[in-house]
Amino acid sequence: MNRRVVITGMGGVTALGDDWASIRAGLKAGRNAVRVMPEWDAYPDLQTRLAAPVDHFEVPSHYPRKIVRSMGRVAMLGVRSTELALADAGLLGDPGLGSGRFGVAYGSSYGSLDPMLALGRSLVEGHFKGVSATSYIQAMSHTAAVNIGVFYGLRGRVIPTSSACTSSSQAIGYAFESIRSGKQDAMVAGGCDELSFCHAAVFDTLFATSLRNSEPALSPRPYDRDRDGLVLGEGGCTFILEERERALARGARIHAEVLGFGTNSDGAHVTQPRAETMAVTMQLALEDAGLEPERIGWVNAHGTATEHGDIAESQATLETFRRPVAISSLKSYFGHALGACGSIEAWVGIQMVREGWLAPTLNLDHLDPRCAELDYVRGQERPADFDTFMSNNFAFGGINTSLILRCER
């Protein structure tokens, strides 16, 4: 069985807004969401002060308090993104959600920070102050997948993906495979992550964060000669994937089709990516889709603005396509949203290609000569006269993912 899989719903919570009109306006204006984080001054050893937070997010008033108690910010971003996606698909409240043929594949780097800190203090200080009956549920790495399933009554398979920067792209890929093989008819798929000083501290210790603390609009700088590291973000984004004939039978609007998925691991180093294995992942996705590289009009890059990552990714892309394919990084607008980045970037990519344009990579003023010779989209937006693109993500541990998407135009 090899069924076709389409995307009928998309929704998310991002630093540029929670609807495509707001996000589109930010992209068109060349505006990123990076700002200075004065609250991080409480941690003097932390060098970076830059991030792209979702400042406007609040718990929706119609969410029942009894259910919300099991959610930290991570799960809440996922649940809200899923609500928006289900509404977009016309499936919010649909009785079919509980059929057992509708599952969830969802990922985050890990759970929410505050309950983790409370649990940690209880071990060190010998008391349970701040620990509640739901602290573990909020902190566990599969908190988003579980809370989404409970909140919307999903009774199909649950696939938690906690693989850092590839969490949501793996989730989309595994959801795609579940439907294509006939194991499920529809899936909620995506990822989310919250911003915290702990995330920043991790990358700080690796000398991977941007220190342009007085120039937030000028960072991050993917592929740029003068890059100085990544900027963290946060958010959530959900896709509704369905078997194509099921979607057509109910009269659903189809945004795009998932054509192929590839994933593998470097098996070599936890934090230093390998171009050759990245290239294999892209080739696996092309083979899965049954496409030649020439069919891909644009590569939606991981593009973190870290030295090793940018160079390896660009080399892998050239090795795969053997031509200067168009490539750009949306992290220059949203920062690095970790577990949410793959789904957010795929969502934005689909919307842009459907409308026939590509936003340029911000702050790419002087291309790093060590990056491979590709067609870097920079300076100003350009037309997109194609319908199929590749979306790539690469994570700590050497985990690589590649998705191929064909858009309805």
Set 142, 165, 237, 371: catalytic member: 165
CA nearest to 203, candidates 58, 56, 305, 311: 305
> Is the four-CA dihedral 302, 308, 310, 313 of positive or negative sign?
negative
Contact status, residue 386 vs residue 353, Cβ threshold 8 Å: yes
CA nearest to 303, candidates 319, 290, 316, 286: 316
255 carries an active-site annotation: no
Distance between CA atoms of residues 152 and 174, nearest Å: 20
The neighbouring-strand residues paired with 393 are: 401
Q: How far apart are the first and last CA of the chain?
A: 28
Angle subtended at Cα 211 by Cα 207 and Cα 217, rounded to the nearest 5 degrees: 135
Per the structure block, which two tokens stand in for 214? 């007085």
Pairing relationship of beta strands 5-13 and 375-376 according to DSSP bridges: unpaired
The SS3 call for residue 248 is helix
336 carries an active-site annotation: yes
From residue 188, alpha-carbon distances to 193, 240, 243 in Å are 16, 5, 12
The SS3 call for residue 220 is coil
Set 142, 199, 255, 302: catalytic member: 302
Per the structure block, which two tokens stand in for 177? 């495979």
Q: How would you classify residue 148: left for phi > 0, otherwise alpha for psi between -120 and 50, otherwise beta?
A: alpha
Distance between CA atoms of residues 36 and 213, nearest Å: 7
Per the structure block, which two tokens stand in for 13? 């919570």
Contact status, residue 404 vs residue 261, Cβ threshold 8 Å: yes
Distance between CA atoms of residues 7 and 406, nearest Å: 10
Set 199, 336, 341, 371: catalytic member: 336
366 carries an active-site annotation: no
For 153-233, where are the alpha helices, taking DSSP H only? 167-180, 197-205
> Which positions are catalytic?
165, 302, 336
